Amino acid sequence: MPFLGQDWRSPGQSWVKTADGWKRFLDEKSGSFVSDLSSYCNKENLFNSLNYDVAAKKRKKDILNSKTKTQYFHQEKWIYVHKGSTKERHGYCTLGEAFNRLDFSTAILDSRRFNYVVRLLELIAKSQLTSLSGIAQKNFMNILEKVVLKVLEDQQNIRLIRELLQTLYTSLCTLVQRVGKSVLVGNINMWVYRMETILHWQQQLNNIQITRPAFKGLTFTDLPLCLQLNIMQRLSDGRDLVSLGQAAPDLHVLSEDRLLWKKLCQYHFSERQIRKRLILSDKGQLDWKKMYFKLIRCYPRKEQYGDTLQLCKHCHILSWKGTDHPCTANNPESCSVSLSPQDFINLFKF
């Protein structure tokens, strides 16, 4: 460190060996330091400003991408279905892609679409689970969880979901045993955990205690018999008729009505199918109730849904019924064909 009175030589400068010279030296050095510090701070501020701009642009880009993905998966309620690749169009639509893009999470909240989605989940669980991608399989489980939570809250369609969970669990038991053969996507422990979750859901459904609402008005049994029969004729599942007959002795008598079971058989099955499964009662009459339960073991029942997916034959766009899509046909409604859950599955079999 320099001492007072020591000669200082600096390029373009000379200092007097006095206290005044030392003071001038310190003042200039201090000013230079402040100037350098100010310059450094300005550079650092500029650097931080540039970083902030870059970060702001990145956040803006992420938000845009996020909005784009949201629009791609949720706002567009339709999907273009094509089965091959051409020079103008690369790739093809898969079952997993359609399952991800069509808004099934919202569809289960609509009572008209609920049974349709449940039936579709059941068909996928039976034979198409391995054809889904990893994301689609995860989406499948998420939708299934929402279905179970809805049933636990509403206490409706309990038997339907029990059957769905049992079908899925049986399929997973078979698939997990074949692990290592590229059957399921993901770690085996993850699928074991999902199977445990399914068992937990089944236990929750079995523990549901349906309480009778505190309603003092007109009930079903208070209606005239003709109205009760008219309502019962609108039930398309014979198991619902049996359950209804177990609710009260009077309803049990109505649920055994031969004409009721005859109409149910004729609704679901053709005359040829019915003739092949004739069953006579002890009184020598056709036992339509026994015939119905025998027929459903041999033939598929007629499916009826309040709302379905539809395919536009003109532009090959798949969407929910009543959903607008960019169709160039003069009359788009005339080009739309309703698809059953099995038709939806068959659409992606190449």
pLDDT of res. 180: 56
pLDDT of res. 262: 93
d(CA 115, CA 307): 9
pLDDT of res. 3: 45
pLDDT of res. 312: 85
Number of Cβ within 10 Å of residue 103's Cβ equals 18
Burial 154-180 (b: 16+ CB within 10 A, else e): eeebeebbeebbebbbebbeeeeeeee
**SS3 state at 319:** strand
Closest Cα to residue 122, out of 168, 54, 154, 174? 168
Number of Cβ within 10 Å of residue 302's Cβ equals 10
Residue type at 162 in one-letter notation: R
pLDDT of res. 81: 80
Per-residue pLDDT of the chain (350 residues; tens, 9 = 90+): 444 444 444 444 444 445 555 555 555 555 554 455 455 455 455 445 555 555 555 545 444 443 433 333 445 677 888 765 554 454 467 788 888 888 888 889 988 999 999 999 999 999 888 888 888 888 899 999 999 999 999 888 899 999 999 999 999 988 887 655 556 777 788 888 999 999 999 999 999 887 776 767 788 888 888 898 899 988 888 998 998 888 888 889 899 999 999 999 999 999 999 998 888 888 888 899 999 999 999 998 888 888 898 888 888 888 888 777 777 777 777 788 888 999 888 888 75
pLDDT of res. 35: 53
CB of 330 closer than 8 Å to CB of 341: no
pLDDT of res. 93: 74
pLDDT digits (tens, 9 = 90+) for 237-274: 899 899 888 888 888 989 999 999 999 999 999 999 99
pLDDT digits (tens, 9 = 90+) for 164-189: 999 999 999 888 876 555 567 777 88
d(CA 327, CA 330): 8
Which long-range contacts does 244-253 make (Cβ < 8 Å, 24+ apart)?
A: 248/221, 250/221, 251/220, 251/221
pLDDT of res. 143: 93
Question: What global pTM score does this model have?
Answer: 0.69
pLDDT of res. 125: 92
The DSSP code for 317 is E
